[in-house]
Amino acid sequence: MAETVKYQVGNDLGCGCMSAIFHFLLQKSCVKPLPTNRRNSSINVPKLEEKPTTKPSSANTSRPSRRMEAADFHLRRAQPDHHRLPSDPTGRLFLASSGTFGAIGGQSGEKYQFDPDVLKSVGNEKYKQGRFEEALELYNKAISLDTNKASYHSNKSAALMGLGHLIEAAFECREAVRIEPNYLRAHHRLATLYLRLGEAEKALDHYKQSGLKADIKDTAKAQSLKTHLHGCNKAKEHRDWSSLLKESQSATSSGANSAPQIYAMQVEALLKLHRHQEAHKIFQKGPSFDVDCCIRFFGPACSAYLLTIRAQVYMAAGRQRKCCAARFEDAVADSQRAARLDSSNYEVNEVVKRAQAMALACSNGNKLLKASKLSEASTAYSEGLEHYQYSSILLCNRAACRSKLGQFEKAAEDCTAALNVQPSYSKAKLRRANCNAKLEMWEAAIQDYEALIRETPGDE
């Protein structure tokens, strides 16, 4: 019996030592493995004490020997606490992977916050998912850590393209090819951006530098755009507005679908052809870029042209959700900035004079109208119309004066002229309906009233 107990203690000591060694090795691993049982694969809470298979002698049952206590102690220390998930001192549970950037590589994201290549890789995943803003943020972080990596700038350019920021995208592509002149993909992307922004010569140059990345269709589009831009310049020179409209529309179809200067040509042609409503629609449809970005990308002369065309749109049809005076103030501000950018341009300076005269006429007319000086107000609006007879705002305001003076027929004519410029001008339509009612032209009045009910059903 004594031999049995001795044998059992020896086993316990051996198990304790082996368990301690095994526990030491486990501490080196990141995650503790869950225990398995050969008989049962379910997770069990291990027992810290095991009863001997045979009963000890009566001499040893009252108190265990020192060897038994030592073996038990080592066994208890060696047994892992499998019923708890591993945790840090704060009590937060560790999983197989964690981190601020979505478990990069199965390790903590904090380790990779300052690794630009990993930031770029995660940005690529966001980009593939269509999450362009998140991708852009990651590319920006990568660039802040390593500004001389061309691929970071090229990928940032792609994210900016996805967000519609084409000029900023072109700047990033420029930086990519500056850092790495033989970066074919960046050259191809930059060429595509130049094509969309209406820069045909530069598009052709970078398609050439992109090597096999560019196909025949790419270069054919750029060549077609170059041809139509030449046609636009000739049409403008000869003041052939119909040809300018046609050539600028063809240029847009050639791939320059985000070129503000080409949309401006279409707007100018339509304004000169007195197709004001169409001009306003094209103006609203065209791309909207920050003026400072345009100056950096297109240069001062082209940017001055864009500002001048916008000022003329404001003078003709006004600006939505703005009062009369504010619309003309915008036109004055745009034309004056255009003059600062291209001071020697005669047409730009003429637009400045016209905008200032119309803004002054509108302001004076409004003050006189509020003071019930109707004849003087009507005269003030007429002075403004001498500078640009197609201003829907001044026409409608003069109609208000004339209707209050009892000149209903002239007032109705002004309203009709204003609606020819801006068919959606509901105030002019209502004023014309009231004038026709005063003239007992019931059919015309009813038509305008019914049109207003259809266009503004909730407006009583």
Are the beta carbons of 368 and 377 closer than 8 angstroms?
yes
Q: pLDDT-based confidence at 2, cuts 50/70/90?
A: very low
d(CA 408, CA 445): 12
The listed range with the strongest mean pLDDT (33-37, 274-278, 377-381) is 377-381
CA-CA-CA-CA dihedral for 207, 212, 214, 216, to nearest 10: 110
Identify the residue whose tokens are 């820069």.
199
Q: Which two tokens stand for residue 59?
A: 């001499």
* Residue 93, SS3 per DSSP: strand
Phi-psi region of 300 (alpha: psi -120 to 50; beta: other; left: phi over 0): alpha
**pLDDT for the residue numbered 35:** 37
Q: Is the pLDDT of residue 42 over 60?
A: no
* Residue 163, SS3 per DSSP: coil
**pLDDT for the residue numbered 110:** 55
Q: pLDDT-based confidence at 28, cuts 50/70/90?
A: very low
Q: Is the pLDDT of residue 316 over 60?
A: yes
Are the beta carbons of 418 and 434 closer than 8 angstroms?
no
**pLDDT for the residue numbered 459:** 57
Mean predicted confidence (pLDDT) in 166-194: 97
Mean predicted confidence (pLDDT) in 25-46: 38
Phi-psi region of 214 (alpha: psi -120 to 50; beta: other; left: phi over 0): beta
Mean predicted confidence (pLDDT) in 150-156: 96
- How many Cβ atoms from other residues are within 10 Å of residue 297's Cβ? 21
Cβ partners under 8 Å of residue 273, min gap 6: 241, 242, 245
**pLDDT for the residue numbered 23:** 47
Q: What is 114-214's CATH superfamily? A: Tetratricopeptide repeat domain (1.25.40.10)
Q: Is the pLDDT of residue 79 over 70?
A: no
CA distances from 19 to 66, 72, 74, 78 (A): 19, 11, 8, 5
Identify the residue whose tokens are 């981190």.
99
**pLDDT for the residue numbered 211:** 87
**pLDDT for the residue numbered 214:** 83
The secondary element (H helix, E strand) that includes residue 368 is: helix 346-370
d(CA 273, CA 370): 35
pLDDT in tens, 196-250: 999 999 999 999 999 877 889 999 999 999 999 999 999 999 999 999 999 999 9
Higher pLDDT, 314 or 75: 314
As a whole number of Å, the end-to-end CA separation of the chain is 109
**pLDDT for the residue numbered 382:** 96
Mean predicted confidence (pLDDT) in 392-408: 95
Higher pLDDT, 261 or 87: 261
pLDDT in tens, 293-312: 999 999 999 999 999 999 99
Q: pLDDT-based confidence at 195, cuts 50/70/90?
A: very high
Mean predicted confidence (pLDDT) in 390-404: 94
Cβ partners under 8 Å of residue 272, min gap 6: 239, 241
Mean predicted confidence (pLDDT) in 94-112: 39
pLDDT in tens, 238-291: 999 999 999 999 999 999 999 999 999 999 999 999 999 899 999 999 998 899
Cβ partners under 8 Å of residue 162, min gap 6: 127, 130, 132, 135
Question: Please, what's the b/e burial string for 418-456 (b: 16 or more CB within 10 A of its CB; e: otherwise)?
Answer: bbbbbeebebbbbbbbbbbbeeebeeebeebbeeeeeee
Burial bucket for residue 63 (CB in 10 Å: 0-12, 13-18, 19+):
exposed
Higher pLDDT, 130 or 90: 130
Give start-end residues of each CATH 1.25.40.10 domain in the chain. Answer: 114-214
CA-CA-CA-CA dihedral for 389, 395, 401, 407, to nearest 10: 80
**Ranges of H-type helices in 29-149:** 58-61, 66-78, 116-128, 132-145
pTM of the model: 0.72
Cβ partners under 8 Å of residue 128, min gap 6: none
